[in-house]
Amino acid sequence: MEYFPFDVQICSLKFASRSYDGLQIELLKEAGQSELKEYQENGDFELSDFSATSTVFQYSCCEEFYPEISYRLRLRRRPLYYVFNLILPCLLINSMALLTFCMPCESGEKVTFSMCTFLTLILFFVFVRDILPPSHKTPLISLYYVVTICLVASATVFTVFSLNIHHQGRFEKEVPQCLRNVILGCLAKFMFCKCSSNGEHDSENQSDEKKSNLERQSSNEDNKLEFGHIEQYNFSPRLRQRKEMTGSCEFFADEHKKQYLKILGKIYESIERNEMRISEQTRRETNKSEWHQVSLVCDRLWLALFLIASAVGTLLVLLSSPHVP
């Protein structure tokens, strides 16, 4: 049962008489395959080889000869039933477990899906163990189930690891430079993932900051020029008639100017706070996007590795039997 369900059973049958010698009984084998006239086909085994040999023995106690006929039957198990009912479901469940790495992390069902496939494999393994007879050697199909269960369990562990990477952006942690260079730089190209580097965001942010600084400087210079012009002439150039107004009017104009400057200062402060808030929000969104990209590349990497491991493990286990058709 070591190579079940691709096993071959050898049956040896010996026919002889110890009570009658060759002078009293004669045992002859028929020529060719005449012994197979009464053979009936079996649903579990097929007869792949048959041989018959006739020998004569002479014991030291007696002078007579004793004939003996030996039949050797080579029975090969029909594996199609077990392939469709035991091996193929295991292979499909293993393939479904690998699809866990294709599910988006936002779905929230990756670990649940992986655990369902793991429990399904355990159920199939218990069923296979119940139908196998006890043996001192591990059957091939049991070994295949154990390898598949280990792969699915490892896939569940790596799924949890990918989810942990995906949610690192919530803690406002930045992606380390080594991970950015290795995963987003090199592995992303091999995994066919389009990832935007952090340098592009930094350059955009720097250009936006430069534009905002230039606008502030230009607005400050314009304000300085306007106020300097007002301080130089002490009156509006378009309304020269106000120069003849009384000192009370000048006092009200100064108060109006102070209120105007105070309002402008509050406006600039609110704009500055709004820009800082937007830049901080952009930085957080960029950080989350980078962690999501790292998680996506890791999922693609796990999918490729486990796909190769599943294919290699299946071929090594199932093809290790010398009787595989």
CA distance 273 to 151: 52
Which CATH architecture fits 79-227+265-325? Up-down Bundle (1.20)
Taking the C-alpha atoms of residue 130 and residue 159, their distance in angstroms, rounded to an integer, is 31
H/E element, 163: helix 140-166
**What does each C-alpha distance from 181 to 69, 187, 197, 294 come to in angstroms?**
77, 9, 9, 11
**What pLDDT is recorded for position 111?**
87
pLDDT of 270 reads 82
- Cα–Cα distance list, 294 to 97, 180, 183 (Å): 21, 8, 6
The pair phi, psi for residue 16, each rounded to 5°, is -160, 165
Would you give the DSSP letter of residue 300? H
Residue found by looking up tokens 């269960």 in the block: 149
Cα separation, 230 vs 319, in Å, equals: 95
User: In sequence order, what E strands does the chain have?
Assistant: 8-16, 45-58, 65-77
pTM > 0.75: yes or no: no
DSSP β-bridge partners for residue 49: 74
Question: What does each of the 325 residues of the chain score in pLDDT, given as a tens digit?
Answer: 778 888 888 888 888 887 777 777 777 777 666 667 777 888 888 888 888 888 887 777 777 788 888 888 888 888 888 888 888 888 898 888 888 888 888 887 888 888 898 998 998 888 888 888 777 788 888 888 989 999 999 988 998 888 888 888 777 777 777 777 777 777 777 777 776 655 444 444 444 554 555 455 545 444 444 444 444 444 444 444 444 444 455 555 666 677 777 777 778 788 887 888 888 778 778 777 788 888 888 888 888 899 999 889 888 887 877 766 6
DSSP letter string over 89-128?
Answer: HHHHHHHHHHGGGGS-GGGS-HHHHHHHHHHHHHHHHHHH
**Closest Cα partner for 287 from 208, 178, 171?**
171
| Residue 3 confidence (pLDDT) | 80
Domain map (residue ranges) of the chain: 8-29+42-78, 79-227+265-325
